[in-house]
A and B are shown apart, each in its own frame.
Chain A
Amino acid sequence: MRLHLSPEDQAFRQEMRTFFTTQVPQSIRDRVAARRELSKDQMIESQRVLNAAGLAVPHWPVEWGGRGWTPLQRHIWHEEMMAACVPPPLAFNATMIGPVIAAFGNQAQKERFLPPTANMDIWWCQGFSEPDAGSDLASLRTTAVRDGDTWVVNGQKTWTTLGQYADWIFCLARTDPTAEKRQRGISLLLFPMDSPGVTLRPIELIDGGHEVNEVFFEDVVVPAENLVGEENRGWDYAKFLLGNERVGVAPVAMIKRLLASAKEHAREVTVDGVPLAQDPLMAARIAELENELVALELTALRVVANSADGKPHPASSVLKLRGSELQQAATELIVDIAGPLSVASFAEDGSDVPDWARVATPSYLNYRKVSIYGGSNEVQRTIIAGSILGL
């Protein structure tokens, strides 16, 4: 039992901190700090800065750009990145399809896809969820039928995040409708979003933004060589992909930033001339949330410190559940601090409402998603009850 980081890890933390706060363009970091959306070009630029320094895909195999770091170093990398308001590498590329191709793709696929995936020369989107396949992903109905040297894909995906920017999609499709277990008849296919027969339709969300889409496939022809791994084994790859990343499951440093800004705003907002921060109820609410975040951060550290053998720590399932709840609680707190200003979400030039108050409610509404995506909190509870408590 030891509290301090080792001298090596302290030096590593300083190295990361220095890089993130000096090498990533300030305009991008300011935009993240303001909780405003980044443009496509800004996201690409940011990831390329990281990739040039070997900091975009440190968890990949070393021959494809990985760094062979310890789980604790990866945790520090992720935390420092978020603390510095650096946008993390695009999850679809860096933590989803990249590791899957590296683990299950053939040599030609690795050479063709991995370098451009790390460098955002390809922007990937995820073709998993369907209108009738959400948490129950194995019930997906999109089909791929073999036709000579090609697959022909028909069906529909939904909740395709940033699909409007994507160059390629990694897509789960049913290739054996006769399989006894429905999980067994699914394959993972890769194809360009501008393939004939692909149609994208934006979905407007409750925050007024456009980050997800519906994607329709009508007789989309995919070369057979674009199937990843083995036919009908796509479910295994999807499970690998979703369970792959234990670092950054709970975005502690990001929630820390939210709480720090909440304190700042609570000092600015006054109630009958007294700063809101001096209201005992408000101070207690912030202090309680902050303490829960300390407990979450320490749990994340316990998990990374104990996952050196590659097996996730049992407590890791706590991180997604509690991490999403605390993100939501922090965004809710900021709406409440904004109070009456929180309705002025789309105020424009000439408004006296500060930007943080304008963005507060759309952000709060947007963050309802975090307890739904990537395995809803109810799925996490099912995992804890089943795998840990044996219920």
Chain B
Amino acid sequence: MDFNYDSEQNDLREAVRGLLARAYPDSEQRRAVVAAEPGFDEKTWSRLAEMGLTGLPFDEADGGMGAGPVEVAIVAEEIGRVLAPEPFIEAVVLAGGLVASVGTEAQRGDVLGALAEGGLVPAFAHAEPKARWSASASGVTAVRVGDSWTLSGVKEPVPNGARADLLVVSAAIDGGTGLFLVRADAEGLTRTGYRNHDGTRSAHVRLENTPAEPLGGGGDQTPAIERALAEARIAYAHEALGAMDTALRITAEYLKTRKQFGVTLNKFQALTFRAADMYVSLELARSIALWASMVQEAGGDVVQAADRARLQVSRAGRHIGKEAIQLHGGIGMTAEYSVGQDTSRLTAIDHLLGDGDWALGRLAASVTSYETVDPLGAPYA
């Protein structure tokens, strides 16, 4: 049992932190980038690719780096630290992860190789306007005609869906949910992008008899989707850690410098005690997020570990995000000041793939079927 990064992991963290610190030296830079399309910086994406990060978790045979969940977590946390809007989790962990786990050898080579090189940005089109955090699809249906497939229906909101070069689309098939690749220029595909509250982008994606290629061998892919969503939830937990860490650090700095009533705000115990509680929330969330990545690496029950991380990080993100604004006062409300941006991003992360209450509902359903939880034992290790 070891909670420390090894020296290569520390090197990776320093390298990613350095790259992102140059790309986003302050929150103004981030504001400028998300103000323009496509909502992230293509040059920064290329630099991430040059460092190998856009192929980080994929097998070397598929053009990737062959790294594990801990390395993915390190990158996600650094992204969260500066709120880098590049779609690392959306494109690499989620869309790329599905191609890696389900795709044929040819699909893996084509998609993951181009993704790793930075030339292709995929997106996972899964959410549906009338569904809520489900692993299955119902609003888009797949129809087979001879050897070819077409998809019809609406996916929304699709993170990064307008900019994406390739969509991985979930669709209802006989007996479950299938996964399909849809090219950006496919017939009958209409994408309407817009800005989310946190500066990232989503799209309304309409498919009308749109040609699609089954991902992998076809058939029901619900378990693969469930797993990919769980791995993305764990990665988002780490992105949230980075954002929470920044929000707390900036808040503590502010309390030490801002003066009211002739003294700095850190003279008021009503404020410092609340900052202490933010630290408690952050460290508890950090423990469970690190653990979830280790469960993933150890081949344990990643879905349940992700739910546990999701619940703790959701509670922590709300607590820290709201308090960071309140302890700042009015300045925390402004778009130009970074804690509000952190809170907006934390709120988006919380709701992208299932919030804390959603995870709690899943955990509660089985809570009386076992006596105690051993995080170092079955089913986690």
Contacts and interface: CB of A to CB of B under 8 A. Distances in A.
B288 A298 contact: yes
Contact of A302 (B266, B287, B373): B287
A91 interface: no
Interface in B197-232: none
Interface string A250-273: 000000110110010011000000
B367 interface: yes
B311 A381 contact: no
Given A280-B364, A284-B361, A5 B373 contact: no
Contacts of A318: 279-280, 283-284
Most central of A277, A280, A315, A378 by chain B CB within 10 Å:
A315
Given A3-B294, A290-B373, A299 B381 contact: no
Interface string A294-312: 1111110110011000000
Given A295-B287, A298-B291, A390-B256, A284 B4 contact: no
Given A286-B367, A381-B276, A1 B283 contact: no
Interface residues of A, number: 52
Interface string A1-17: 11111100100000000
B277 A381 contact: yes
Given A286-B367, A318-B284, A385 B273 contact: yes
A1 to B, nearest CB: 5
- B interface: dominant SS: helix
A299 B284 contact: yes
Contacts, number: 155
Contact of A4 (B252, B371, B376): B376
Interface string A53-73: 000000000000000000010
B3 A384 contact: no
Contacts of A388: 276, 279
Interface residues of B, number: 51
Given A1-B3, A5-B376, A292 B312 contact: yes
Contacts of A9: 1
Given A3-B1, A384-B276, 19 more contacts: A3-B376, A72-B1, A267-B368, A287-B363, A290-B367, A290-B373, A291-B308, A291-B311, A294-B288, A294-B308, A295-B288, A298-B375, A301-B376, A302-B290, A318-B280, A380-B276, A381-B272, A381-B276, A384-B280
Interface of B: 1-6, 9, 70, 248, 252, 255-256, 266, 269, 272-273, 275-277, 279-280, 283-285, 287-288, 290-291, 293-295, 297-298, 300, 308, 311-312, 360-361, 363-365, 367-368, 371-373, 375-376, 380-381
11 contacts: A1-B6, A1-B290, A3-B294, A3-B295, A72-B1, A257-B372, A288-B311, A292-B312, A305-B2, A389-B248, A391-B266
